[in-house]
Chain A
C-alpha cells in the first residue's frame, strides 16, 4: 500500500491553516529565504533537478519552462498563476487556495524571483468567490508582513501580486486565453508561436503555472530536489494532490506520491459508496479518456497513463459504479465542452455541436448503428485538428467509451432489445 505524503495538505485540519500564523507555525516563508540564498538560477536549477511537472494537466517540466524565459532582454517578466480550475471532476486547486493559500504565495515569490518577474498575477475562476476572497486576504497579510512589495526581506527584490477574478469561461484555463482575458480581452487562445515564455502577458516573457505547481515549489526548495525526487517514479517524480470524487464513500483530496494506484486511492476514500463495484473511472478530469476496473492497479503516473491510452491530467479521478450510465456521463461531458467551446476554431465549435446533437438522439433511443461510427468519425475530425486542447479534450470521451462500452451504446439504438 502506497503511503500518503501530506505536504501541502499536512495541516488542513487546523482551524487556522489558511492564515499567515498557521502557515508560519509549520515553517512557512522560510523556503523563500533559502531561495534568495540560492539565487535566481540556483532556484531554477533546483526545480529542474526536482523533476517537478506542471500539475495543470499537461505535465510539462516546470524548471524547463522557467528556463525558457529569456534573461537580460530588458523587458518586464511576468508570473501568472492559473487558478481557473473549471474542469468537471477537478477540485484540488480551490481547496488548496482555501486551506493553504500562503503556500501558493510563497511559491509565487520564489517562482517570480527565479524568472526575474516583479509582477505576478493569480487568475482565479470567477464563479468561485470564496478562494478569491481567501487568496486576497492572504496576499494582504503577506503585504502586511512585508513578504510582498518593495525590497522583500531586504534583498532588493520587488514583487507586486494581483489577484484577478475570471469571468466564467472554461477556455480561460487555457494559458494563452487566460493571458488575453487578463489583458482585458475576450478570452480566446492565441496562435503559438510565440509562446508565452517569449511573448506572453503584454507581449512580454511570461510563465504561466498551475496553482499546485507553484505551491509545490517552497517544499522543494526547503527540503531539496533529492527529497522531492525520492517520491514517485523516475519520469513522474514527486507528490501530488489526488482529488477523488464519485461513487466512493469519502470523496476528498489525498496527497500521495505519483505512482499510487486507483485501487489504493479508492481504499483511502473508504471504498465504494455501496456494494456496487467500479464500472469505469477517469484518472484526471473529464478531459482524459476513461478507464475500466482492469486498470485499477495501473500506477497513476504520466507515463503509465499514456501507455494505457489516457492521461494523468489534473490527477482528479472520478469514479463511477455499475449504477451509472456511460452514455449519460459522455453526453454530460460533451455538453460541457459544447457549452464552453470558445468558438474560435471550427472543429471544436461545430464538432461539439454535432456530437451533442447525435448523443441527444441516442439518449432518446432514436440513434442508429451508423451514428456510433459517425461519433467516432467526428471525434477523429476534432482530435488534433482544433486550435487548442479544449477541442482535443472534447474528442477524448467517445473513442474510449465506445472501446470499452460499445454494447451499452448499442443497447440504446432503435430496435435494440
Chain B
C-alpha cells in the first residue's frame, strides 16, 4: 500500500502491518478494518458504515473474527493495529455465519416490496441479501411489524418506515455533515423509526443526500418516487448549474427525460454531497421552453425560421452602438464567445456578466485579483486552514458545499471561522463562527480590524458577490490579505460567474485574465482572434449601458441569461430594453424576452457541453446529458450571426475549440495594485439581505416540493433598531422606499445596528422588485400591526 498522493510528505502517517484473510497488508495507522479490506478487493457487507460518517457499529453486518478476541467484532469501528490477524467472511465460518445471521434478522421485518421499491436494482440490502444471506426465510409464519405507508419527513422526502433497517445514516448525516439535527431515531426495539419532532419537518438544505445514502428504500424522493427503475436509466456525469460550488453530479435520464439528479463523489470538490437545489431543481430544463426563433413584428412575436431570425438579428445589430449583457448561466466557452463577439463583431467593450449589484471597484478587483489566478484557494485549503474569514458571504445560502467543507474542518480540524456580515444566519451557528456584525457600508472597517487575528496563521479570506454592494470592502479585503499574507478568494453565487471572469466578460477585462488597459495583452488577444486591433476604450457596465440606452447613447442589446428583476433599477432596465433593438438568446421566456425584437432559442445546460469554473478556479467540464437535443449553444448562435455579418472565426464555435482558444490566452502576468476605494455609509436605516438558497430563482421553477423546503421569509432587525423605529417582534413591518412598499413579518434577531435584513428574492420578500433599492440603500420602516397567519 502506498500513502495517497495528497498526503503531505512531512505529514506521512506511520504504516502498520496486519493480516486479513491470510494476506498481509500495510496501511496507515488508524485505518479501519473495513477500509483496509476494501483495498484488498474484499467488500465486507455493511449498512450503517459510511466513510464520511463516524462509525456507530449499529447494524452489526460487518462482523469479522479477530485473533485474540472472543466475539466477532464490527470491522467498521475497529482500526487495524500492527500484527492484527483478521478473518472476514472470506476465510472465517464464524464471521460468515455472524453476517448471515444479521442479514436474516434485517430481512425479518423488511417488506418484500422490491418490485415496486425505488431502490430495487440499486439496493445494498438487496445486493447483500444475495451475497451474504440465506436463500430461504425461516420467518415464514411470522408477523412483520408494519407502519402506515409513507410519511413525509419534509415536502421533498418520503419515509417508508417498514423498509428502514435503522442504520442511522440519515440521522448521522443530518447531525454530523449538514448540522441540522432535526432528524432523529424515535421509539425503541423493532418500533424504532426515523422521525422528526411533532409537526416539524426535517429542515435542511442538504436533506436529499439522506435519500442517496439510505441503504434501503426507506427514504425516497417525492419527485422521483415510482417514476423509474434504476436499470432503465442512462447516467451522465454532469456539473451542477446552480452555484459556484462546482458539484459533480449524476443526471439520470430515461427515454430522453431527466428523472433525477444525484451527487457524484468528487473528493476534491463536493466529496459525495450536494444541496437540495442541485439535486432537485432540474425541471427548469423542460418548462417554458422556447421552441423556435421568434421575431417581433408590430409588437407581436411570431415564429421564424433560423435563417430569417439570424439575418434579422444581424441586420438589427449591424453598425449599431451595442451592449452585451449576460447572466450567470453561461458555461465558460459560451461566455468566451460573447466576449469575442462583443469585441470583434460589435466593436465594443460594453459587456458585463454581472446582472446584480456591482461596482467599478469590483470590476477592478476581478480583473486584478481573480481573473487568471487559477486554483489559488481550494476546498482542500479550506480544510487545512487555521482561520477562514467570510466577508459578505454566507456559505450555507450562497455556496452550500463551501459550508459543508467548512463545517467538516471546524469539526475535525479545529478550523476557526470568522464572519463579517450584516446579520447572523443559521449557517454561522453550524460553523461556530465568530460573528462581526456590520451595517452595509461599514464592513470594510470591521474587516480591517481583524488583521491581528490572521497574522502568522494559515488564513483564508472568502469574499462573496455581496461585497460589491459595499464601497471599499473589496479593496479592504485585498489590503487585509496583503497585510496578513492571508489567501484571498472570491465566491460568486452563480455557476457561470467565475467562468465569465476568465472569459473576459467585463468592460475592463479581456479573456485569460488579460487587461484591456495593457497593450501587450490587447495585442495577444487580437492575434488569437485574427483581427488587427480591439476596441480600446473601457466599456460600460450593466448599469452604465442601461443609462446610456435611456439617454439614446446605445442602440442595441445582445442579452443572454438575464432577468431584469435581479437589479434594483429594473424599471430603467425595462425602459432601456424597450427603447433599443434587443437580441435575446434564451432557452425560456423571461422578463427580457418580453422586450426582445428577436429571440433565438438556445439549449439548456443539460443539452450542451462545456465547462463551468467553480469558485476555486477549478474547471468543471461536462458533456450533454440530453445529447440527442437539437438545441444550439449560445456560442453557435453567435457564430451564425457573425457569419451573417461577414465575420469568420478560425474555429467552428464548438465548445472544445473555444476552450482551446481561451486556454491559449491564459496570462499569468502580474497585475497592478488595486485602487483604494473609501467606504460610503448611508445615514439612517439601510437594507441588507441575501438570496436564500431556495427562493424564487428561475432555475428552481416548476419544483413545488423543493420550493416548500424554502426558509420562511421574514425581515430581521436587532432589538435596538426595532425600538428606534417602533417595530415589534412578530408583527408586520412596512418598508418604504422611492420604488414602493413592502409588508413582511419582522423578527428581532442578531443584525447590525440600523440595518433591516430581508431575503432578496423569496416568496413575500422581493425588496429589489417592490422597493427598487438594494443592499446598503436607505429605507424607512414602520410597524404595520399584528401578523395573522
A contact set with B: CB distance below 8 Å:
169, 171, 186, 191, 338-347, 349-354, 357-358, 361, 374, 380-381, 384-387
Closest Cβ of chain B to A193, distance in Å, is: 10
Closest Cβ of chain B to A105, distance in Å, is: 32
Is B71 in the interface zone, CB < 8 Å from A? yes
Q: List, in ascending order, chain B residues with CB within 8 A of A380's CB.
A: 101
Give the CA-CA distance A346 to B184 in the complex, in Å: 17
Instruction: Check B108 against A350 for contact (C-beta < 8 Å).
Output: yes
Given known contacts A385-B102, A387-B57, is B187 in contact with A343 (CB within 8 Å)? yes
Given known contacts A343-B191, A350-B109, A374-B138, is B70 in contact with A191 (CB within 8 Å)? no
Closest Cβ of chain A to B108, distance in Å, is: 5
A-B contacts, 24 of them at CB < 8 A, read: A338-B190, A340-B188, A340-B189, A341-B188, A341-B190, A342-B192, A343-B188, A343-B191, A346-B58, A346-B105, A347-B102, A349-B166, A350-B109, A352-B190, A354-B139, A357-B139, A357-B143, A358-B142, A380-B101, A381-B102, A381-B105, A384-B71, A385-B72, A387-B58
Give the CA-CA distance A343 to B193 in the complex, in Å: 9
Give the CA-CA distance A345 to B98 in the complex, in Å: 13
Q: List, in ascending order, chain A residues with CB within 8 A of B106's CB.
A: 346, 350
Give the CA-CA distance A349 to B71 in the complex, in Å: 19
Contact of B58 among A171, A344, A357 (CB under 8 A): A344
Instruction: Check A352 against B189 for contact (C-beta < 8 Å).
Output: yes
Closest to A352 in B: B189
Given known contacts A346-B61, A346-B165, A385-B98, is B105 in contact with A171 (CB within 8 Å)? no
Q: List, in ascending order, chain A residues with CB within 8 A of B56's CB.
A: 191, 344
Instruction: Check B142 against A349 for contact (C-beta < 8 Å).
Output: no
Knowing that A347-B101, A380-B101 touch, tell me 12 more A-B residue pairs with CB under 8 angstroms.
Answer: A191-B77, A344-B192, A345-B58, A345-B60, A346-B58, A346-B61, A347-B102, A349-B105, A354-B105, A354-B142, A385-B71, A386-B60
Is B38 in the interface zone, CB < 8 Å from A? no
Give the CA-CA distance A374 to B192 in the complex, in Å: 25
Give the CA-CA distance A374 to B77 in the complex, in Å: 30
Given known contacts A171-B188, A191-B55, A341-B188, is B145 in contact with A346 (CB within 8 Å)? no
Interface flags, B29-59, vs A, CB<8A=1, else 0: 0000000000000000000000000011111
Is B141 in the interface zone, CB < 8 Å from A? yes
Q: List, in ascending order, chain B residues with CB within 8 A of A361's CB.
A: 141
Is B80 in the interface zone, CB < 8 Å from A? no
Give the CA-CA distance A347 to B143 in the complex, in Å: 18
Closest Cβ of chain A to B589, distance in Å, is: 51
Q: List, in ascending order, chain A residues with CB within 8 A of B58's CB.
A: 344-346, 387
Instruction: Check B102 against A353 for contact (C-beta < 8 Å).
Output: no
Instruction: Check B139 against A346 for contact (C-beta < 8 Å).
Output: no
Is B63 in the interface zone, CB < 8 Å from A? yes
- How many A-B contacts if CB must be within 8 Å? 99
Is B538 in the interface zone, CB < 8 Å from A? no
Q: List, in ascending order, chain A residues with CB within 8 A of B145's CB.
A: 353
Give the CA-CA distance A11 to B141 in the complex, in Å: 56
Instruction: Check A346 against B188 for contact (C-beta < 8 Å).
Output: no
Closest Cβ of chain B to A137, distance in Å, is: 32
Instruction: Check A343 against B190 for contact (C-beta < 8 Å).
Output: yes
B contact set with A: CB distance below 8 Å:
55-61, 63, 70-72, 77, 97-98, 101-102, 104-106, 108-109, 138-139, 141-143, 145, 165-166, 184-192
Instruction: Check B105 against A339 for contact (C-beta < 8 Å).
Output: no
Give the CA-CA distance A202 to B263 in the complex, in Å: 35
Q: Which of A342, A345, A346, A347 has the most CB of B within 10 A?
A: A346
Closest Cβ of chain B to A182, distance in Å, is: 18
Closest Cβ of chain B to A144, distance in Å, is: 40
Closest Cβ of chain B to A216, distance in Å, is: 29
Contact of A347 among B70, B105, B185 (CB under 8 A): B105
Instruction: Check A381 against B188 for contact (C-beta < 8 Å).
Output: no
Give the CA-CA distance A354 to B106 in the complex, in Å: 11
Closest Cβ of chain A to B67, distance in Å, is: 16
Instruction: Check B105 against A351 for contact (C-beta < 8 Å).
Output: yes
Q: List, in ascending order, chain A residues with CB within 8 A of B185's CB.
A: 186, 343
Q: Which of A169, A341, A342, A344 has the most CB of B within 10 A?
A: A344
Give the CA-CA distance A186 to B192 in the complex, in Å: 12
Give the CA-CA distance A380 to B106 in the complex, in Å: 16
Instruction: Check B191 against A387 for contact (C-beta < 8 Å).
Output: no
Q: List, in ascending order, chain B residues with CB within 8 A of A345's CB.
A: 57-60
Give the CA-CA distance A358 to B141 in the complex, in Å: 9
Instruction: Check B60 against A347 for contact (C-beta < 8 Å).
Output: yes
Closest to A169 in B: B188
Closest Cβ of chain A to B542, distance in Å, is: 53
Top 6 nearest A-B pairs (CB, nearest first) are A343-B192, A381-B101, A350-B105, A384-B71, A341-B189, A357-B142
Instruction: Check B101 against A385 for contact (C-beta < 8 Å).
Output: yes
Q: List, in ascending order, chain B residues with CB within 8 A of A350's CB.
A: 105-106, 108-109, 190
Closest Cβ of chain B to A176, distance in Å, is: 12
Instruction: Check B71 against A387 for contact (C-beta < 8 Å).
Output: no
Given known contacts A339-B189, A381-B101, is B72 in contact with A346 (CB within 8 Å)? no
Closest Cβ of chain A to B136, distance in Å, is: 13
Given known contacts A351-B105, A384-B70, A384-B72, is B189 in contact with A342 (CB within 8 Å)? yes
Instruction: Check A353 against B190 for contact (C-beta < 8 Å).
Output: yes
Closest Cβ of chain B to A396, distance in Å, is: 15
Q: List, in ascending order, chain A residues with CB within 8 A of B165's CB.
A: 346
Q: List, in ascending order, chain A residues with CB within 8 A of B77's CB.
A: 191
Closest Cβ of chain A to B281, distance in Å, is: 34
Q: Which of A353, A357, A381 has the most CB of B within 10 A?
A: A353
Give the CA-CA distance A340 to B191 in the complex, in Å: 11
Instruction: Check B189 against A338 for contact (C-beta < 8 Å).
Output: yes
Give the CA-CA distance A350 to B189 in the complex, in Å: 8
Q: List, in ascending order, chain B residues with CB within 8 A of A338's CB.
A: 189-190
Q: Which of B59, B70, B97, B104 has the most CB of A within 10 A?
A: B104
Closest Cβ of chain A to B23, distance in Å, is: 25
Instruction: Check B108 against A353 for contact (C-beta < 8 Å).
Output: yes
Q: List, in ascending order, chain B residues with CB within 8 A of A387's CB.
A: 57-58, 60
Closest Cβ of chain B to A184, distance in Å, is: 13
Q: List, in ascending order, chain B residues with CB within 8 A of A186's CB.
A: 184-186
Give the CA-CA distance A191 to B73 in the complex, in Å: 12
Q: List, in ascending order, chain B residues with CB within 8 A of A169's CB.
A: 188
Q: Which of B60, B166, B191, B192 has the most CB of A within 10 A?
A: B60
Closest Cβ of chain A to B168, distance in Å, is: 8
Give the CA-CA distance A385 to B106 in the complex, in Å: 14
Give the CA-CA distance A385 to B58 in the complex, in Å: 10
Closest Cβ of chain A to B711, distance in Å, is: 27
Q: List, in ascending order, chain B residues with CB within 8 A of A374's CB.
A: 138
Give the CA-CA distance A374 to B137 in the complex, in Å: 12
Give the CA-CA distance A346 to B167 in the complex, in Å: 9
Q: Which of A357, A361, A374 has the most CB of B within 10 A?
A: A357
Give the CA-CA distance A186 to B138 in the complex, in Å: 33
Instruction: Check B192 against A349 for contact (C-beta < 8 Å).
Output: yes
Give the CA-CA distance A338 to B106 in the complex, in Å: 15
Instruction: Check B166 against A344 for contact (C-beta < 8 Å).
Output: yes
Q: List, in ascending order, chain B residues with CB within 8 A of A353's CB.
A: 108-109, 145, 189-190
Give the CA-CA distance A352 to B105 in the complex, in Å: 10
Closest to B143 in A: A357
Q: List, in ascending order, chain B residues with CB within 8 A of A340's CB.
A: 188-189
Give the CA-CA distance A354 to B108 in the complex, in Å: 8
Give the CA-CA distance A311 to B274 in the complex, in Å: 52
